[in-house]
Structure 1
């Protein structure tokens, strides 16, 4: 069963996010934020997905979301929109840590990656603490 909730980012952006499990996601691109400092999912973190426009080298915004209680964003991009190219996910880490009364060294994390075969599924985890982060291509 899916549930809906309204979430707010710093009192300015109001979005409705469908909260589902990762298996319910039609997205060929999935993410999972893990707060390794506390051993919990990185929930309620704002993020933006971009694709590079080859002719201008500019970034085109595809979607903005907030991670769910499990640190995931189901439905981040549709299969139709997911074409070969260079993508970037920007995670708003400063807002995330500030919401817990903490400061961090990295105000945001940008992960840039290339998609050659859009028929595959891609998983991009972000392992995060106040002073470090790591990522890899997951399965």
Structure 2
């Protein structure tokens, strides 16, 4: 089984994106919700099985809290967990009009 963590950075302000809601949709379709901490991080308290999963970052509501317009109201990151993989870290660099995602360590 595999654990999962994420980290969101506001690339415009150069700071962690604290307080962003993140939803994990696992291979069964079950949804698990979380919210990034003051360092922009969240670790899901679930064990993932091998297969395709999705993280949905609720960027629109997060930007709206600061009165900032954005182009992407949510960012969906699909990823595949390999069998016997101990941990996956999916990171997101975010601005109001663009984003980049990568697999962290």
Both structures adopt the same fold (TM-score exceeding 0.5): yes
Structure 1 vs Structure 2 CA RMSD:
1.4
- 1:1-139 pair list within 5 angstroms: 28-53=3-28, 59-61=29-31, 63-74=32-43, 76-78=44-46, 81-139=47-105
Q: Please say if residues 106 and 131 of structure 1, whose CA atoms lie closer than 8 Å, have aligned partners that are also in contact.
A: yes
The ranges of structure 1 where at least 4 consecutive aligned residues each deviate by more than 3 angstroms after the TM superposition are: none
**TM-score (normalizing by structure 2):** 0.91
Greater RCO (CA < 8 Å, at least 6 residues apart):
2
Shift of residue 60, structure 1, vs aligned partner? 2.3
Secondary structure (helix, strand or coil) at the match of 1:100 reads: coil
Task: Please give the alpha-carbon distance, in whole angstroms, between the structure 1 residues aligned to 2:78 and 2:4.
Answer: 13
Aligned residues: 104
Q: Which runs of 5+ in 2 are unaligned?
A: none
Task: Please give the alpha-carbon distance, in whole angstroms, between the structure 2 residues aligned to 1:119 and 1:102.
Answer: 38
Task: Please give the alpha-carbon distance, in whole angstroms, between the structure 1 residues aligned to 2:27 and 2:88.
Answer: 17
Deviation digits for residues 18-45 of structure 1, max 9, x if unmatched?
A: xxxxxxxxx8211000000100001000
Q: Please say if residues 26 and 48 of structure 2, whose CA atoms lie closer than 8 Å, have aligned partners that are also in contact.
A: no
Shift of residue 117, structure 1, vs aligned partner? 2.7
Task: Please give the alpha-carbon distance, in whole angstroms, between the structure 2 residues aligned to 1:135 and 1:77.
Answer: 21
Q: Which runs of 5+ in 1 are unaligned?
A: 1-26, 54-58
